[in-house]
Structure 1
Amino acid sequence: MLRINNSIAFHENTAIALASVLGNVLVVLAVYVNRALRNTTFCFIVSLAVADIAVGVLVIPLAIIISMGFNTQFYTCLFLTCLLLIITQSSILSLLAIAIDRYLRVKIPTRYDTIVTQGRAYVAVCLCWMLSFLTGLVPMIGWNTHDAKGNSSSSREIFCKFTAVMSMDYMVYFNFFGWVVAPLTIMIALYGEIFRVIRRQLNQRAEATCDGDRYYQKELKLAKSLALVVFLFALCWLPIHIMNCISFFCPKCYIPKFATYIGIFMSHVNSALNPMVYAFRIKRFRLTLIQITRRCMLCRPIQSTQCTTSTPALTEKVDVNL
């Protein structure tokens, strides 16, 4: 029975990995093909897509291997588990960067172009990834179970499992409270303010020009789509973190292995959901995906395109296309 369950889990995770890689490669390709999508927001979305591709290519296979367990040196096992944290951290920091970008977009629309340039967006993406590596590799410099479990020799082989090398106080206090709860709280506050500003502007512009009204309607629609991405991230990642908290604060509490598996599986599913949100809720992105699919089916080379549309007085042409 255990062998059958392991086989089912393997095939489910493999399917999620393939869906995540395929969907997010299409996200990157869509931004490459359609120049109208090459704005600062989609720069951060591409960063998020790269992190989700890494989940499919690296994190899910590693998670499967680590869940099965194997013999290796302590710090080799620790480094592999740290890679899982790095990718997760890059995802949440990319989401935070997107929220800040959209907040500036509606808060200071007239100065947005001069403050949020493409070059600064690239720098922000690099900083997100650098910070992800720094926070994810913290266990490598000492915050681990090496001394607690009496592993006096780093060359001695251990049975590699996540809980065998990763300290739960690091996972709960530093990783969860510091780098998951805090960014999510900031994002919730930012999107709350974004919706408030947009609603206020729409109410003030009830008798104003159609162009101004259309600008804020577009911003509202895109903000809802990106807020949905944040909601799905929280929905998929909070269960496994909450179970870690229960295990840490209540060691005697029993958590079924099946529940742990569901929590891990949901965290993997999140990487495959984002492309579907973009496709169903962002029209220009959806049309670009249709174009890519048609060209691939007809075996034609995919060329970069520039879609032209009329531009409202208060907005740049890029956001109108969204």
Structure 2
Amino acid sequence: MMSEETTVYTVLEVLIAITCCLGNAPVIWAVWSSSALREPTFCFILSLAVADFLVGFVAVPFAVLVDGQVCTSFTVCLLISCVVIMLTMASILSLLAIAVDRYLRVLIPLRYKKTVTERRSWLVVGSCWFVAFILSSPPIFGWNNQETSQSRNSTINCRFIKVIPMSYIVYFNFFLCTLTSLLVMAALYFYIFFAIQSNLRGRVRCGSTSHIYFKKERSLAQSLVLVLVLFAFGWLPLHIMNCIAYFGKESDVPRMGFHVGILLSHSNSAVNPIVYAFKIPKIQEAYMRIWRNLLMCRDYNQGSQSNQTTENNISSNPNIVING
């Protein structure tokens, strides 16, 4: 029987999963269906939204399973854990691709459209997911907690830390992948804002096209930095607790602390769509267009049903006379 803490954790995970799916599905639909959002940046935002959607649809249910809720073989538990890691890696690499894209828009504004095409952007998106798979696969190929060949086939109470070693989580997943990526992104955005501010100062008295261009770039960059900050806020507490448990003792961090860290990391995927909706005008417009189309379809269907009902009444009652 589950403890009260585990029950609360599971219920909150379910709520986060539903929010992730309901929030990111409109983002995916808006970007995919709108020709105005075919720019490279929005290809990467779409990739991030897909990763966030899969966090709710796949990673959260798997995370509940690898919290000791089921008994599986070592191999199955290991594969489930690696899927959770892969989706996190995909989010990080999508954020990194967005930062590099913003950097190129400021560094080579005149050559940007010829250099960063939609086709190349999709190739980068595919590369991000492929690299995410590669980075999450070391545990599958031996960097795991398997001690004997019998343990791979025997049934275990599936827990993430039973199959994934803390050395991989801390040194490889956090220090090498997550923290390095966050530092690179912070440096890129620092340069972006410095370059934009310098360009705006030079054109402050001029209403030129370049002045408007850099103002738009600054506004979008601010929104994307907010996404990055929320990602860091959501994931760093869990990684810090992992470091404390690894370099000290696992008992130094209470189980509830890990649960809070996991909930924070997953809730990050539910928050991103709110940022897109309130901070990025093009996605706002796409949302409004989708809603208008849905309302028009509803009104059309209601009108069709009303006309059909009228025709049925007339055909069923021959005494009705239509004046003409």
With the length of structure 2 as denominator, give the TM-score of the two structures.
Answer: 0.88
Offset, 1:286? 1.2
Q: How does 1:238-257 map to 2 (within 5 A)?
A: 238-251=236-249, 254-257=252-255
Q: How does 1:48-59 map to 2 (within 5 A)?
A: 48-59=48-59
2:119 aligned with 1:110: no
Q: Which runs of 5+ in 2 are unaligned?
A: 300-324
- With over 3 angstroms needed to count, the CA separation of the structure-2 counterparts of 1:208 and 1:238, relative to structure 1, is same
Q: How does 1:181-260 map to 2 (within 5 A)?
A: 181-251=179-249, 254-260=252-258
When Rg is computed on C-alpha atoms for both structures, the one with the higher figure is 2
Name the aligned partner's letter for residue 29 of structure 2: L
With the length of structure 1 as denominator, give the TM-score of the two structures.
Answer: 0.89
- With over 3 angstroms needed to count, the CA separation of the structure-2 counterparts of 1:153 and 1:175, relative to structure 1, is same
2:162 aligned with 1:179: no
SS of the aligned residue for 2:109 comes to coil
Matches of 2:21 and 2:251, distance apart in 1: 37
Q: Which residue of 2 aligns with 1:309?
A: none
Q: Which residue of 2 aligns with 1:12?
A: 12
SS of the aligned residue for 2:71 comes to strand
User: Which one of the candidate residues 253, 256, 272 is aligned to 1:274?
Assistant: 272
Q: How does 1:1-322 map to 2 (within 5 A)?
A: 3-147=3-147, 150=148, 152-251=150-249, 254-300=252-298
- With over 3 angstroms needed to count, the CA separation of the structure-2 counterparts of 1:177 and 1:17, relative to structure 1, is same
CA distances 1:210-250 after superposition (whole Å, capped 9, x unpaired): 32211111000000000110100000001111111000001
- With over 3 angstroms needed to count, the CA separation of the structure-2 counterparts of 1:300 and 1:214, relative to structure 1, is farther
Offset, 1:103? 0.2
SS of the aligned residue for 2:252 comes to coil
Contact 2:65 2:158 in 1 (8 A): no
Q: Relative contact order, CA 8 A, sep 6+: which one is greater?
A: 1
Matches of 1:37 and 1:252, distance apart in 2: 46
- Bigger drift between 49-58 and 3-12 goes to 3-12
Contact 1:236 1:267 in 2 (8 A): yes
CA distances 1:69-99 after superposition (whole Å, capped 9, x unpaired): 3221111111110000000000000000000
Name the aligned partner's letter for residue 164 of structure 2: M
Name the aligned partner's letter for residue 181 of structure 1: L
- Bigger drift between 2-11 and 284-293 goes to 2-11
SS of the aligned residue for 1:138 comes to coil
Contact 2:68 2:157 in 1 (8 A): no
Aligned residues: 299
Offset, 1:68? 3.6
Contact 2:55 2:266 in 1 (8 A): yes
Matches of 1:223 and 1:254, distance apart in 2: 39
- Bigger drift between 60-69 and 215-224 goes to 60-69
Name the % identity: 42
